[in-house]
């Protein structure tokens, strides 16, 4: 195993790796105290070698690594790629492409929802990876031999996992299913967190246009503040506090001080005035320009439909050995119950063929569910 600490050695290693059609990639980073993840280590492997890059080495330029990530002739294999891709995108403006995510492939092949890397390695290869250093401080130097071994094993085992999953996908005719998911993972929109879209990340549900307008402004302010200070969003303002402000829309520091979700004395900080200004901007917004607020689907018929769709989804998942989460989410089912033309993944592509068409048929009585020998089965009606 090689530890790379200079730009010249990195360029040479990337040149060698670029000669292969497939390489495996993983990263180690810290983001507990920052908005942007701190990239500490990158490990890569080809069939011939495995390398560890000390991304914090003085003077090292990661340009050769970023160029390799964008090399269209080399397939980059990750496990749970989203955060790795986010780091590369943020630091270089490059989206790794083409890619293969073994976690997504495992879901398509019925290994369960979002299976962990060590569990997947054990199930595919029979080897149990050492996860002792999973939560180690990767920013500390020098890297220990144990850390190096851990980093290398992540990408060397990944070679075997990829080979097995890729062969299984081809055997079952599901390679295209994974390719569709990779298009989402490699879309810049997936990682481009503009402050004006920050409200979409919040779980707080608003019921009135006024609340939505305030939520959008306060969430945008928090996002900008977190980015400028390079701290986690929760260090600026917790999600429940943002929702509380949106609901009560305080227009003075005195009213802001009455919100229990805010830390004591927050209204007297320099951010108190900023929040009041954000609230006022929200109240001044034209409601006609706001996104449409989805009405709660609380009627009994809708709820019953969703429950039936859940049973169909579970049955479909078991029958085809595909993780239910990758076929449809609960929100997908809610939207299908309310709208035959809902723009959800479950009504597009292979998901529609596997589940979506049956879901609509069940909703409209063209398909029924029955119990046969203790198992749920579908009954097609003419």
Question: What does the pLDDT look like over 117-159, one tens digit per residue?
Answer: 999 999 999 988 877 767 789 999 999 999 999 999 999 999 9
- Angle of helix 145-172 relative to helix 117-125, nearest 10 degrees, comes to 60
Distance, in Å, from the CA atom of 23 to the CA atom of 46, rounded to the nearest integer, reads: 5
What pLDDT is recorded for position 200? 87
For residue 322, count other CB atoms closer than 10 A to its CB. Answer: 23
CA-to-CA distance for 76 and 70, rounded, in angstroms? 9
Both ends of the chain: CA-CA distance in Å?
64
> For the whole model, what pTM was predicted?
0.85
Average pLDDT of the segment spanning 111-116: 90
**In the block, residue with structure tokens 């009135």:** 208
Nearby residues of 213 by Cβ (< 8 Å), 6 or more positions away = 282, 283, 285, 287, 290
Q: Give the pLDDT confidence score for residue 302 in this predicted structure.
A: 75
CA 236 remoteness from chain centre: 22
- CATH numeric code, 302-380: 1.10.150
Q: How far is it, in rounded angstroms, from Cα 364 to Cα 305?
A: 10
Burial status of residue 243 (CB atoms within 10 A of its CB: 0-12, 13-18, 19 or more): buried
User: What pLDDT sits at residue 128?
Assistant: 86
Rounded CA Rg of the chain: 24
Q: According to the model, what pLDDT value does residue 294 have?
A: 67
* pLDDT at residue 203 in the model: 64
Range picked from 58-72, 119-133, 286-300 for highest mean pLDDT:
58-72
Q: How many CB atoms lie within 10 A of CB 167?
A: 10
pLDDT at residue 301, as a whole number: 62
The yes or no reply on domain 195-289 and CATH 1.10.150.80 is yes
Closest CA to 143 of 42, 49, 68, 7: 42
Residue 45 pairs in a beta bridge with 24, 50
Q: Are 99 and 76 in contact (CB under 8 A)?
A: yes
Q: Which tokens sit at 344? A: 């959800």
3-state helix, strand, coil in the chain (%, to 5): 55, 10, 35
CATH architecture of 7-190: 2-Layer Sandwich (3.30)
Tokens of 99: 């890619």
The pLDDT tens digits of the residues spanning 243-262 come to 999 999 999 999 999 999 99
Q: In what order do the strands lie in the sheet with 50-54?
A: 2-4, 50-54, 38-45, 22-30, 75-78, 99-101
Range(s) within the chain of domains with CATH label 1.10.150.80: 195-289
Question: Residue 85: which H helix or E strand, with range?
Answer: helix 82-92
Q: Which two tokens stand for residue 6?
A: 């200079």
The candidate with the shortest Cα–Cα distance to 210, out of 266, 280, 105, is 280
Under 8 Å between Cβ of 169 and 99: no
Q: Are 353 and 176 in contact (CB under 8 A)?
A: no
pLDDT at 376: 85
Residues 21-33 have a mean pLDDT of: 94
Q: Indicate the pLDDT class of residue 353, thresholds 50, 70 and 90.
A: very high
Pairing type for strands 2-4 and 50-54 reads parallel
Where in 31-88 does DSSP place strands (E)? Answer: 38-45, 50-54, 75-78
- Which band of pLDDT confidence, cut at 50, 70 and 90, is reported for residue 81? very high
Average pLDDT of span 60-78:
98
Contact between residue 20 and residue 70 where contact means Cβ atoms under 8 Å apart: no
What 3-state class would DSSP assign to 137?
coil
Parts of the chain belonging to CATH 3.30.420.10: 7-190
Average pLDDT, the chain: 92
């Amino acid at each position: 195993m090689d530890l790379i600490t200079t730009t010249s050695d990195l360029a040479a290693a990337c040149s060698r790796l670029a000669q292969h059609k497939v390489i495996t990639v993983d990263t180690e980073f810290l983001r507990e105290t920052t908005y942007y993840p701190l990239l500490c280590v990158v490990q890569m492997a080809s069939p011939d070698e495995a390398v560890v890059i000390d991304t914090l080495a003085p003077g090292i330029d990661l340009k050769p690594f970023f160029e390799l990530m964008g090399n269209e002739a080399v397939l980059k294999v990750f496990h749970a790629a989203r955060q790795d891709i986010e780091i590369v995108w943020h630091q270089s403006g490059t989206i790794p492409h083409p890619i293969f995510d073994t976690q997504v492939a495992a879901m398509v092949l019925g290994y369960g929802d979002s299976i962990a890397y060590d569990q997947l390695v054990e199930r595919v290869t029979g080897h149990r990876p050492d996860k002792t250093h999973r939560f180690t401080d990767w920013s500390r130097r020098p890297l220990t031999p144990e850390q190096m071994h851990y980093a290398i094993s992540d990408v060397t085992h990944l070679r075997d996992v990829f080979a097995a999953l890729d062969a299984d996908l081809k055997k079952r005719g599901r390679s295209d299913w994974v390719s569709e998911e990779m298009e989402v993972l490699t879309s810049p929109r997936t990682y481009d967190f503009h402050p004006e879209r920050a409200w979409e990340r919040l779980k707080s549900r608003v019921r009135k246009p006024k609340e939505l307008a305030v939520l959008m402004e306060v969430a945008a302010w928090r996002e900008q503040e977190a980015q400028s200070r390079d701290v986690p969003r929760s260090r600026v303002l917790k999600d429940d506090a943002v929702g509380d402000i949106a609901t009560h829309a305080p227009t003075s520091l005195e009213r802001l001080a009455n919100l229990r979700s805010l830390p004591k004395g927050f209204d007297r900080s320099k951010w108190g005035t900023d929040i009041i200004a954000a609230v006022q901007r929200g109240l001044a917004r034209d409601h006609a320009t706001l996104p449409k607020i989805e009405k709660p689907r609380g009627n009994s018929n809708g709820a019953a439909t969703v429950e039936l769709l859940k049973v169909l989804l579970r049955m479909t998942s078991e029958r085809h050995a595909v993780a239910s989460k990758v076929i449809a989410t609960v929100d997908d089912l809610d939207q299908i119950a309310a709208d035959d033309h809902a723009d959800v993944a479950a009504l597009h592509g292979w998901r529609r063929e596997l589940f979506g068409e049956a879901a609509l048929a069940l909703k409209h009585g063209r398909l029924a569910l029955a119990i046969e020998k203790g198992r749920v089965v579908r009954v097609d009606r003419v």
